Amino acid sequence: MIALQTIRNNTDQVKQSCLERGIEAPIDLILDLDVERNPILNKVEQMRAARNAAGKAIGSAKTDEERQSLIAEQRQVSGELDELEKKLNNLDTQISTLLLEIPNLFNTNVPIGDVDDSHIIIEGDGHNGNEIKHTDPIILKNAKNPEIDDSLKTHWEIGEDLELIDFERGVKLSGSNFYLLRNAGARLQRSLISWMLDSHLEQGYSEVYPPVLINEQALIGTGQLPKFADTMFKTTDGRWLIPTAEVPVTNMYSNEILPNEDLPIHHTAYSPCFRNEQFSAGSAVRGIKRGYQFDKVEMVRFERPTESWQALEKLLENALELVRALGFKYRVLKLASKDLTFASAMTYDIEIWAPGSQEWFEVSSVSNFLDFQARRANLRFRNSEGNVNYLHTLNGSGLALPRVLAALIEVYQNKDGTVLLPKILEPYLGKHLHLF
């Protein structure tokens, strides 16, 4: 949440940020309500003081006549005060509700524009260890794809040939855009989850297994509600299926004041995720790249405000370590302003090349939210001077399972139709690295 004081003092900056995000926001309405609120607040404070003074005077009245007069005066003030407090509370509620519609202010280093204006800042190949960090970023719309090999199969073709993926029965059970992982496909998914979690534990994260049903306030805290209600699934009792483990893990410490010595806190969590996405027909949604349900491993960091930008770079490196280890060709995008999520101040996307599908799969989004989520979820800490401040929150996928699995079987396919997976997974798959 953007502080009301920030909107008052930096109105043009907030408006420009919303414009460059492509988001219409009720900034003028908030300011109008704020102007209406201020004299009422001043009057309420004056009348509260008058009521308190009358109460003290009643106790020291010298005559019964004087006491009765003061009591009548206090009753009149209290009646008027009740009406004003109702007006004030109504305005406060309206302003607080509208503030939830204002997106975060993005960092000045974020490229301005649409998704095609995002910057490619890193390109690499985990197979040979080559990596280039571009001092002059490549604009995404000018980027070139790796060389195409039309002889390679897609993951959905391999998945059906080797009985790793069952699309027909997934649709029978749950409808379109659902699938079953079977046999070695299910084993590979389970192994990837364990490998990812273990990798993050080695990086210094502590593991959490969160609930997948969450209350509404948690989704307000991380910024999915109220704006994106139609992209999620709500149960009949008012709870919601989580779109990402970010939601429950970030809200673990809501309405708490953490001691300074506990920071930073780094958690990793596996969860199924549920998103009510809109799908169009065609190859763009073939396979398991997108679906209403998918698995993901998440990293969430709670940082002191002075350390969150360094933490963002570390978080990116934590995700990249996994991508490199699996031998993917990859690139890192610094997202343009209109491609940022509602809550993000800056986001890096990691994409891997799927040679059979002949496209880039996003497998991680790594974001710094500054104090935006902390204000909404009331996440605070007591600093070394004893003052209470809002935390900074960050998160990143580590990684998104369906796309990693899909790209793996495309990258490591053999000419005979089998798949030989990378040896880094051998401790988890044992003799099952070879899929046939």
Residue range 242-257: average pLDDT? 98
The token duo for 221 is 């805290």
Sign, Cα dihedral of 197, 203, 206, 211: negative
Q: Measure the CA–CA gap between 49 and 39, rounded to whole angstroms.
A: 15
Residue with tokens 């490196």: 317
Count of beta carbons in the 10 Å neighbourhood of residue 2 = 23
The partner residues of 265 in beta bridges, in order of sequence, read: 302
Work out the average pLDDT over 131-146: 96
State the average pLDDT over residues 373-402. Answer: 98
pLDDT score of 201 more than 50 = yes
Return the CATH class of domain 4-99: mainly alpha
Q: What is the pLDDT of residue 337?
A: 99
Helix (H) or strand (E) holding 31: helix 27-59
**Residue with the larger pLDDT of the pair 58 and 363:** 363
Q: Mean per-residue pLDDT for 219-238?
A: 97
Mean pLDDT over residues 340-353, rounded? 99
Quick one: average pLDDT of 325-354?
A: 99
Whole-angstrom distance, CA of residue 214 vs CA of residue 248: 7
Q: How far from each other are the two terminal CA atoms of the chain, in whole angstroms?
A: 51
Instruction: Check residue 383 and give its pLDDT.
Output: 96
Q: What is the pLDDT of residues 77-113, one digit of tens each?
A: 788 889 999 999 999 999 999 999 999 999 999 999 9
Beta bridge pairs of residue 316: none
> What is the rounded average pLDDT of the residues 216-235?
97
Q: Taking residues 416-422, what's their average pLDDT?
A: 97
Across 309-315, average pLDDT: 99
Residue 283: predicted pLDDT: 47
pLDDT at 318: 99
Domain 115-435 fold is: BirA Bifunctional Protein; domain 2 (3.30.930)
pLDDT at 284: 54
Predicted confidence at residue 280, as pLDDT, reads 63
For the chain, the domains span 4-99, 115-435
Residue 220 has a pLDDT of: 98
Residues sharing a CB contact under 8 Å with residue 87, sequence separation 6 or more, in sequence order:
40
Q: What is the mean pLDDT of residues 40-49?
A: 91
Give per-residue pLDDT as tens, 351-380: 999 999 999 999 999 999 999 999 999 999
Beta strand spans in 91-129 (E): 119-125
